[in-house]
Amino acid sequence: MISIDGVAAHFSQRSPFSASGVTVADVCKTTYEEIKKDKKHRYVIFYIKDEKQIDVEVIGARDAAYDAFLEDLQKGGAGECRYGLFDFEYTHQCQGTSEASLLTFLNFASKKQKLFLMSWCPDTAKVKKKMLYSSSFDALKKSLVGVQKYIQATDLSEASEEAVEEKLRATDRN
């Protein structure tokens, strides 16, 4: 609270900290912009360094497949949590078109690209680690403005390409 000529005024400031006190490194925002605007990379894996700061661990090449993303997401081991941002591409079939007509009239299909941010906390991770990652996720979400979908995954069935595509398609307009 600041007092100006005896009048109290409250100023709210957006904190760069998460509920856990973890901050987001500037390189996370820079890498995100390189994916979103410049299309330089396909994905990025983030981790919490020394329980203090979210940092970049791995950057996936633009031609990298989804399997490489999943592999890098789990690189820390069975007891490790991570965050992953992926620029997902798929073909959207407009409502009222069939597969056959889609092949004939390609202009009815549109290519879609959506950025999603995944919180990967496997069931095998320790409770303390899961709590740190869940309480810090909001700070990362606020730093990466423009992400279309947030996904939480605890096992490979929730993180699979099929499961993610289904979640992204659910937000499409027909």
Domain count within the chain? 1
- The CATH number for 127's domain is 3.40.20.10
Residue 131: inside a domain, yes or no? yes
91 pLDDT tier (thresholds 50, 70, 90): confident
Alpha helix stretches (DSSP H) within 97-172? 99-104, 127-143, 156-159, 161-169
Q: How far apart are the C-alpha atoms of 23 and 15, rounded to whole Å? A: 9
Q: Which residue has the tokens 């991570």?
A: 82
- Mean pLDDT value across the chain: 86
**1 domain residue, yes or no:** no
What is the residue range of 134's domain?
A: 16-169
Model-level pTM?
A: 0.81
Tens digits of residue pLDDT in 153-165: 999 999 999 999 9
Q: Show Cβ contacts of residue 87 under 8 Å, excluding neighbours closer than 6 positions.
A: 35, 36, 39, 41, 42, 43, 113, 114, 115
